[in-house]
Structure formats: C-alpha cells, structure tokens
Amino acid sequence: MTRLSIAVVIVSLLPMTAAFAAEDYKCWYESDGNLGRVRVLHCRIDGGEVIVYSDGDEPDVPLWPAVGDDGDGECHYRRSQFTGWYLSEVNGTDNLLQYDPDGIRGGPRIADAWFRRCDGEPWEVDLDIELVWEVLESFEFATPDPTMAPTVGVTGLPTFIGMQPPEPYVESVTSPLTAARIDVEFRVVTVAIRWGDGEIQDVPARLFDALDGYPDGEITHTYEAKDYADLEVDYVWRVRWRANDGPWEPIADIEPTTWSVSYQVDEVVGRRTG
C-alpha cells in the first residue's frame, strides 16, 4: 500500500509543477539535536532563505527526488525542479531511485540506484563527470622509456634520444544511471626533455616521428662539458571528455609522467703519438 500511495501522490501533483517552475526549493533533513532521533525538513528557496519545517510539515509544492553531495559523498535529497529522478523504494534512510534519461516525465526509466538520505545541505553533482573521474583513476598513464645513443655521452658529439609516445586512446563507457555514453580521451601532446645541462627541449606531437633515436632520429643534443647530467623526460598529457558526442571538455591538472637518469658524459682527449 505504501508504494501505491506514493505513486498516486506523484501523479496527482504533476499538473502543479509548471506553476512552481520559477521557484526552486532544495530540501533536506537535519537532526534537531536531540541525539539525532528527530530529523527536521529544511528547504532553501531560490538559493536564499532557509525555512525549517516542524511537526512533519512540508512546503506546499511538489518535491522530486534529486542526487547531490553533502560532504560525505552522493546522497538523496528533494527538489521542486524536476531532475529526471523518480523514487522507487524507501528502506529506512536509503532510497532506491530510477532515472529518466530523456528528461520527459513518464518516459522510460533505466537502472535503479540506491542512495542514502543527505545528512545536511547538499550541493549538486554532475554524475557524468563523476564517471569520468572513475575512468581517469583507473587509467595507467605510460611512462617514457627512451633509448640513449651512445649509452655514455661524448663531448662535442651528438647524443641521440629515441622513444615511441603512446597513440591517443579513447575509453568509452555508458553511465549505469543516466545511460549517457561517456568518451574519455588520453593523449600525449608534448615530450619535454631536460638534458641536464640547462637545456630544455619540448617536442610537440607533430614531431614525434623525429624521436626515432640513432641513427635517423632528429632529436639530439651535444654536451660541451664532461659531467653527469641529470637527464629527465616527461610525457605531458591532455585528457578531455564528452557525453553523447557533445563538445569536448578538458580535464585540468594532469601530472606528467617522468623518466630520469644520471647520464654520464665523457671527454675525448687527443694525444700526440709521434
């Protein structure tokens, strides 16, 4: 009987949603301080005033399920603006929600997902970008693995460096909640070479073929002094994503992957033999 009652209430309120479309109520429950035994509904109206409802009262507007983050992760709250989420089942403070991917009320719904009830005021979350970060965290970023020729440098002669940066890679996943297809692209855009004697060389993607090493490679360096050079090579990455073939969005602050070695440079000294 409980689930049927919920469904009837939602249907009966559908015609009213347009009247309140301009007024945004974001509502969540907080403890009244009495050992957390009583939770009181709080609603922030249009991002401004917060109204606290007591004795089980609620605002005189239809409230739809929504998903946000209260600082402890994703959670369920209620909102007067339709979000595409529907309440399917309640189990204590946990809620089983369903999502309508086309945003049309009464349209087909997809996978169920359980969310706990928010314990404080939530902020909105983008579930697509949350999925992007999951893909990002599972991706194994390649590390440079260059070859040096000669293996011990010689002053006045070129040192060749060779490597094959990885090809651009796109991982596509489908959101189990929104049904959106998410593409995440990983690409090395620059190979940054710090030769260890103060010289820095940035090789853009269009010149990666020049990193062919000895004897045909075009990326070389000539050391002038005998020493041990702290040679370092970075892959500089660009990561971007899109949903359902939409515009690409960049992901900032991707740390480069680094290879380093103490490269020995010797000096050839000529001697008179006669």
pLDDT string in tens for the chain (274-residue length): 323 222 323 233 333 334 444 689 999 988 766 655 678 899 999 989 999 998 778 888 899 899 888 988 889 999 998 888 888 888 888 888 887 766 666 666 666 788 899 988 998 877 778 788 889 999 999 999 999 999 999 999 999 999 999 999 999 998 876 678 899 999 999 999 999 999 999 999 999 999 999 999 999 999 999 999 999 999 999 999 998 888 999 988 899 999 999 999 999 765 555 5
The contacts of residue 103 (CB under 8 Å, 6+ apart) are: 82, 84
Q: What is the structure's pLDDT at 209?
A: 97
The pLDDT score that the predictor gives to residue 174 is 86
Q: Which two tokens stand for residue 230?
A: 């702290």
Is the bond preceding 144 in cis, omega lying within 30 degrees of 0?
Answer: no
Domains of the chain, first to last: 2-125 (no CATH), 135-266 (2.60.40.10)
DSSP SS3 for 115: strand
Q: Given the structure tokens 């010689």, which residue do they identify?
A: 154
| Side chain identity, residue 129 | I
What does the pLDDT read at residue 86? 85
Please tell me the predicted confidence (pLDDT) of residue 274.
54
Residue 272: its pLDDT value, please?
A: 59
Angle (CA) 76 138 171, round 5°: 95
User: What are the helix and strand counts (H, E) for the chain?
Assistant: 2, 19
Q: Rounded to whole angstroms, what are the CA distances from 47 to 23, 118, 123, 219?
A: 10, 18, 11, 57
| pLDDT at 270 (0 to 100) | 58
